[in-house]
Structure 1
Amino acid sequence: MRPFLPLAALACLAAAPALAQPAASRVVVRDTLPRPVNIRVAEADGAAAIEAQRIALEAARADAELQRRVLLHQRKIGTLTDAQYREGLSGYDRAIDGYRQLRPGQRVRPDGAEAAVLEKQIIDFTAARDGLGAPSVLAEVDTVRGDRGEVRLPAEALQSSLAARLEQARAELPDDARHAPARAYLDGLERRAAEQLPALADARGNVALADTVEIIEEVQVAYTMSMESWPVMLRVRSIPEQAIVELRALASAPLAFTTDTQREVIRGWFDYTVSKAGYKTVEGKDLNLVWAEGLFTCQLVPEDSPQDPLPCNIE
């Protein structure tokens, strides 16, 4: 099984104009992609070339879906405005339109000029050339055809690309105790990638793209976050009111406060305890504040109730 190496990016195509960035978003935009995840379909001739085209375009479609999900998370945590989010979705629509017209099996195949325009629609979106989302990870690795015709990626190259993005995100965090939850979250992401990708790899060292979407998505969202986007105003509510909440993140001092208040915390993964006299204590793990808007709600259960404590909810 040989890798299908995509052709070089179209040097003659100018990058789309960049939009102004929100203060809480950090995006790196490259002028060219050394390995775009699509190929010139007008040049595909013969079964092998057409299959290479199909694999590359399936990777491009998955890349566009990943970018759409990154935009959704950015909007949820407030690093994109509504207008920027709508603009990003317009880019997604153009990318998917390009994919649909370029994929094999179409009754009418685009000619060279039309294919180049459709390719640009895909590359502009997945490369974040409008300044929204995060530049493609898949453009940095080769796409490979699996034995069942699925898209696969070299696990080692993918892990290296993800680690480099996490290292850049870590480097931009202040080296202080307050940001320890964010650093612990980024460290945990890197450990997960280092454990999961080799375990998912086949004998050739390749992983199915479908199995890597979740970890790529998390890294891409973290990669776009600037120092200003890590704090979140946590609004804590309990029924009944005035319970005591304790949040605990790895390598961080516990945070304790009462419910029905607001508290700025640094995004990360937390364990938590919620307690109130006369009610069962709630113990929870892996509270994800990285992708949360910040509303934390707990419904407490009386001590004399046969019901178990209910987990709290984060939105």
Structure 2
Amino acid sequence: MRRSSSPRAPLRAAAVCTTLALTAGSALAQSYEVLKYELSTPDAEPSEELRALLPAEIRDRGTLLVGGRWDAPPYAFFPEGTKDWTGFEADLVRGIATVLGLDIVLEPITNEQTVLGVNANRYDIGVGFFANLEARQETVTNITYLRNIFGIIVPAENPHGVEEVSDACGLKTIQTGGNFDYAGALNAICEEKGLPLAERVQVAEGVNGLLALKSGQIDVYFQSYGQQKYFQEVVDEPIHAIVAPEIGWVGMGLIAKNDRTDVQDAVLGAVKHLHEIGYYDELIEKWEFQPLYEANPQINGGQDSRWWATPKAAQ
């Protein structure tokens, strides 16, 4: 793998975030201050076989149009004061572009805008660490490259002695729902074990879970494993984090329009090629994502959880 400050596929970003502070002046204001990771691209030549799977318009254009999040460390983000799109997913997309012999044109937007843009053919693929949810399959296809597991974060002193998921039963956690109902998953475990249910607390709009934890509004906070590790490295006040395998895992990936099977096949083929040449494994090591390893990248990869609906996986 080649690491450099100027990747093979140059990025032309439409917008740049210079700092991602949780809240000005707070003790956690620098929680999103990023570490200076070098950008990565594979030392590989384009695959003519995979490139031939692309529609002619993309091959002729010579660019991969990418829309997606820029504010989700450590998956995809801009380090403070730079225009360097970095993170596990950013490195992976650079690898995909290299294998397909394309440059990247990146437009940093929200996840909702990404789904709309992919379906309007404004973007070839969307990035944003998208969960493969059954409801989402109605609008986009997930090119699954990672398994996301979850964890619990508590204050550094761990006053309630939380060392496994069931230890959080009876404590206060942030109200959750929608894609990942962490609180619901916790209470299902508590009920199964005959333990008191966790109290679901509704915090003020815009209050981050870490801030709610620090202020004492909640006792435990659920977070994805990758972000959990990231916060452990960059937060300016120590936290105690544990992995919660009981919650299960969900496939995460890039998205493409449902009827653009040519794009899906080319991108999935590129991800599998990156596995074969060892680049994927090197990214896993670089970002310390070993528990998230997906040995079988696939279209609409599945889930392993009792706590939300299992999507229909297409091999």
TM-score bracket, shorter-length normalisation: under 0.3
Report which of the two structures shows the higher radius of gyration computed on alpha carbons: 1
Using CA pairs under 8 Å that are at least 6 residues apart, name the structure with larger relative contact order, 1 or 2. Answer: 2
More strand by proportion, 1 or 2?
Answer: 2
